[in-house]
Amino acid sequence: MAGRPKTPCDDSWYPNRIAEIDKSPPKRDNPLLKRCQGPNTVSVGMKTTAVSFEVRDSSTSAIASEYAAAVRQLARPAGGTVYACGSHLEALPALCRAILELKFDFPTIVVGGAGVLTERGELSDVSAATGLVWEGGKLECYPLHGNSEEALTEAIRNTLTDQTGKTRPPTLLFVRPELFSPDSLVALQNSRQSGCVFGGGVVGPDGPFIVHQGSIVEASGVCAIMRGLSAPKIGLTHSCRLLSELHEITEIRGSMVTEIDGRPALEMLTDSADELSDELVLLVLSETPFVPPGGGRPKLLIRGLQGVDPDRSGLIVSDEIREGMGIAFAVRDPATSREDLETLTRELEREIAGAAPRFGFYINCASRGEDFYGSANVDTKILTNRFGKIPMAGFASAFEIAPHHGVPALQLYSGVFALFTWLS
């Protein structure tokens, strides 16, 4: 994975154990590719309502210029997001200053990723930036401050409770990984305000940022509420092939699973992964059967194995585990990943019931790129083959956030696609 920062997925480590950012420079860009890739627009009649852009260049001013070109295509832009990778991770404050000089009257969120993407494709081993700006509704951005996991968790809960009320508007959530863990969203499990939250963990030494009203605000997280838009269809895709059926956790000690189906947990893992060599074994948690009663894709949580305790024959997972919860073992598998995303797009197509796709966000685990698949742009091609080249932007994240049984949850080795449509 040379040429991009390490992420928790690279090391099978939770976000609060994130590896130090790799400072190695990105691969040198092909000069023929150092150019702006248009803006792409979606229109209703003669009216443009959303625009994406992509630029591969070492200049923050070039990124700001391309962003401005995208904004000029909209009559009344409501909000924008800009994602940057490569050498731009060290220059995010300068990029924010360049955007500030444009003096837009709507907020822009600026975040760093291990890579960036649009409907044109995915970029990781270059210095690049992408973005999306849209029309309609109102984007309200709230900085989340806190120098500890507990403080950031409190800020997320308070902001969602105070600002969303009972309306459950679409909400983007970007957070710094070193202050976040699977337990950070547990407090929202009983909240009715959190059912349409999606986002991910940012990458790089700085950010996320809010650029608005003559100021630049950097925070531990950003909660961006998209008012006045119809709720998107949010889908989650996984990268894993199951090695076992779903078993029951029958005994735990804190964050450690000691018994599965009444057998020592480490013994169960050894039996499931006996024929594997150096493959990374993951844990799959579920509170429901793998195959839902009505059919369709199962709702899973993927977690890394944090360690083993041979003396207790235990598997160290996280504080999320509970006795009675289902657990299985899995490995990352590109063929399964492709198939799952294909299935997800078919399900989303049925769910939108003929409504016209408008624009989308795709937040993709940094481990799901070209190194994983063996070819480039696999995920974005699947999305555009199904929904067309609608304006879309996103980044390669440290981890993902998506609804799980109606409340936001941290996800690993996953992709989160939020599809906004016109009402049919």
Q: How confident is the model at residue 299 (pLDDT cuts 50, 70, 90)?
A: confident
What is the pLDDT at residue 288? Answer: 67
Handedness of CA 229, 383, 132, 176 (dihedral sign): positive
Handedness of CA 202, 204, 208, 212 (dihedral sign): negative
Q: How confident is the model at residue 5 (pLDDT cuts 50, 70, 90)?
A: low
Q: Which domain-ending residue is among 271, 305, 331?
A: 331
What is the pLDDT at residue 32? Answer: 31
What is the pLDDT at residue 164? Answer: 80
User: Does residue 2 lie in a domain region?
Assistant: no
Q: Based on the fold, state whether residues 205 and 233 are members of the same structural domain.
A: yes
User: Does residue 349 lie in a domain region?
Assistant: yes
What is the pLDDT at residue 20? Answer: 31
Whole-structure pTM value: 0.89
CB contact set of 401 (below 8 Å; sequence gap of 6+)? 173, 175, 185, 197, 198, 199, 200, 201, 363, 408, 409, 410, 411, 416
Question: Bigger pLDDT: 293 or 301?
Answer: 301
- Whole-number Å distance between alpha carbons of 419 and 159: 24
Q: How confident is the model at residue 193 (pLDDT cuts 50, 70, 90)?
A: low
What is the pLDDT at residue 407? Answer: 84
Q: Based on the fold, state whether residues 244 and 315 are members of the same structural domain.
A: yes
What is the pLDDT at residue 211? Answer: 98
Q: Based on the fold, state whether residues 362 and 215 are members of the same structural domain.
A: yes
Q: Based on the fold, state whether residues 39 and 14 are members of the same structural domain.
A: yes
Q: How confident is the model at residue 291 (pLDDT cuts 50, 70, 90)?
A: low
Contact of 255 with 285, CB cutoff 8 Å: no
Could you tell me which of 101, 121, 119, 99 has the C-alpha nearest to residue 109? 99
> Dihedral of the CA atoms 88, 93, 94, 96 (nearest 10)?
100
What is the pLDDT at residue 391? Answer: 97
Q: Domain tally for the chain? A: 2
Q: Based on the fold, state whether residues 160 and 265 are members of the same structural domain.
A: no
DSSP 102: T
User: Does residue 384 lie in a domain region?
Assistant: yes
Q: Based on the fold, state whether residues 213 and 274 are members of the same structural domain.
A: no
User: Does residue 120 lie in a domain region?
Assistant: yes
- pLDDT score of 306 more than 50: yes
Q: How confident is the model at residue 183 (pLDDT cuts 50, 70, 90)?
A: confident
Question: Bigger pLDDT: 420 or 2?
Answer: 420
State how beta strands 221-227 and 138-144 pair. Answer: antiparallel
- pLDDT score of 361 more than 50: yes
Q: Compute CA 375 distance to the chain's CA centroid, rounded to the nearest angstrom.
A: 21
Q: Which domain holds residue 277?
A: 240-331
- pLDDT score of 142 more than 50: yes
Q: Which domain-ending residue is among 309, 331, 353?
A: 331
**What percent of the chain is predicted at pLDDT more than 70?**
83
Q: How confident is the model at residue 57 (pLDDT cuts 50, 70, 90)?
A: confident
Q: Based on the fold, state whether residues 254 and 356 are members of the same structural domain.
A: no
- Range from 4-8, 204-208, 265-269 carrying the lowest mean pLDDT: 4-8
Question: Bigger pLDDT: 31 or 64?
Answer: 64
Amino acid identity, position 257: V
Contact of 177 with 204, CB cutoff 8 Å: no
Q: Based on the fold, state whether residues 112 and 199 are members of the same structural domain.
A: yes
- Range from 139-148, 242-251, 412-421 carrying the lowest mean pLDDT: 242-251
**What percent of the chain is predicted at pLDDT more than 90?**
67
- Whole-number Å distance between alpha carbons of 402 and 127: 27
Q: Based on the fold, state whether residues 373 and 298 are members of the same structural domain.
A: no
What is the pLDDT at residue 13? Answer: 37
The mean pLDDT value for 73-85 works out to 97
Handedness of CA 72, 215, 153, 164 (dihedral sign): negative
DSSP 26: P
- pLDDT score of 170 more than 70: yes
- pLDDT score of 207 more than 90: yes
- pLDDT score of 92 more than 80: yes
Could you tell me which of 144, 139, 176 has the C-alpha nearest to residue 160? 144
Q: Which domain-ending residue is among 287, 316, 331?
A: 331
User: Does residue 1 lie in a domain region?
Assistant: no
What is the pLDDT at residue 99? Answer: 98
User: Does residue 254 lie in a domain region?
Assistant: yes
What is the pLDDT at residue 24? Answer: 37
Q: What is the mean pLDDT of the chain?
A: 86
Q: Based on the fold, state whether residues 275 and 358 are members of the same structural domain.
A: no
The mean pLDDT value for 43-63 works out to 82
User: Does residue 206 lie in a domain region?
Assistant: yes
Q: How confident is the model at residue 308 (pLDDT cuts 50, 70, 90)?
A: very high
Q: Based on the fold, state whether residues 116 and 227 are members of the same structural domain.
A: yes
Q: Based on the fold, state whether residues 137 and 226 are members of the same structural domain.
A: yes
The mean pLDDT value for 50-76 works out to 94
